[in-house]
Amino acid sequence: MRISPSLLDNISVCPCFEYKPYEKTGDSAADEGILLHKALETDEDGELNEEQLRTVEKTRELCKAIQTGWLAWDTAPVDKRIELHEQKLQSSFAYRGLMDRVYVNLAARRAFITDMKTGRLGLIRDAKDSFQLMAYSDMIFLRYPGLVDEIMVVLSSPRTNETSDHIYHYTEWESIKERIQKVIDSAEYPFRQPRFHEVLCSKCRWFSACPAANRALVPVVEQTVSIPASILTKPVEQLTETELAQNRAAADLFAAWSDLRKKAVDARVMQEGLELEGYTKVRKSGAPFIPADRAAEAWELLKSDLTPEMFIAACGRPSLNKLVEQLADDALGATLDERKEKAREHLFDVLEDVVQQSQSSEYLRRRAKLDLRLLGG
């Protein structure tokens, strides 16, 4: 397992935890988190909407307040002030890490580290209990041995207006390293056992095959599916409050279960080349599109062919099909289909370096009415 500071907190909860592989989709929480952290690092906000900008500004204001009030930043000699933004630093262990923002005032023998959490659920632990912040403190003590006496570490959740802080002293460095080592050892222990955790499990790549998660789900499933079928089929307007809650719980469970189960079943059918009664294999090539952050670049390349109004009409995230339709009127060809094909060729020729391909997909489609024999009926 590859250890990193951001992984330590999760490993401390479950030694088998591993993040799902990151896939850029353009609209996921992970994508937004990367965007916000990039703005915090570079101070360039052009890609942020108003709400995202407010989120980053709150963190900047927090940093400024702590710089002034605790770190005495403004009065320190310039050659004693060090700023580290997303700079990879060495730890006392076999890994490196990036911190959102770090300020070191060697004159005051103090440092300040902040980590911004961009999610909407708020902080799930205090700064003093965060192994991630312990790891960052270790890096600063290692980089400036004997030069920094105190490190203030701060977790901030600007979207929920939460902050948590703690101060580590140089005398605590050895105990910090001991605590981190125990977490690393638990992950490297060959007989480690997975543990179920409601918040983390959905982020773990092993969730669908994790025995701990499955054991935790069994009583929930049994309790939910034990609801009489008559309650689940009863007209909604006739349900009591308890029955409404039971219906909603069952619906949520079945929806979550079906999404995970369908993907797992479809993946196995595709990988092993199986044929399922009543289902057809569907393979879709990824659709080409222009990423939103490259729309301005696409416009610069296309503006000789389109008016601004025509381009805007094809926007949101620029749709290639809409752009093709806009260009088809001026393309050569006797029929509309011929003109569209010429316009498409021209569009891809001009925007070759801008266009991206979305992920291809494979799944099963039911051919006809669901055969109740498959459900044991």
Mean pLDDT, consecutive 10-residue segments, the chain of 377 residues? Answer: 87 90 71 85 85 90 91 91 85 88 94 89 86 95 94 91 93 96 92 84 82 73 71 89 87 78 84 85 77 76 74 65 76 78 82 76 72 51
In this structure, the answer to whether residues 258 and 321 fall within a common structural domain is no
- 58 with 146, same domain: the answer is yes
185 and 227 together in one domain: no
Shared domain check, 206 and 189: no
pTM, whole model, 2 decimals?
0.60
Based on the fold, state whether residues 37 and 80 are members of the same structural domain: yes
Please give the DSSP secondary-structure letter assigned to residue 26.
S
The phi-psi region of residue 170 (left if phi > 0; otherwise alpha if psi is between -120 and 50; otherwise beta) is alpha
Q: Both tokens of residue 342?
A: 């010429």
Question: Structurally, how many domains does the chain consist of?
Answer: 3
Domain that holds residue 11: 5-193
The runs of H, that is alpha helices, within the chain are 5-13, 29-42, 50-69, 131-143, 173-188, 198-201, 211-225, 229-233, 241-272, 295-302, 308-313, 320-328, 336-350
Which amino acid appears at position 96 of this protein? R
60 to 47, 65, 352: CA distances (angstroms) = 17, 9, 38
Query: Same domain for 28 and 97?
Result: yes
pLDDT at position 45, please?
85
Spatial neighbors of 9 by CB under 8 A, at least 6 apart, are 125, 130, 131, 132
Same domain? For 241 and 351 the reply is no
pLDDT reported for residue 280 = 86
Note whether residue 130 is domain-resident: yes
CATH code, 19: 3.90.320
Q: With beta carbons less than 8 A apart as the criterion, state whether 205 and 20 touch.
A: yes
Asked if 16 and 154 sit in the same domain, the reply is yes
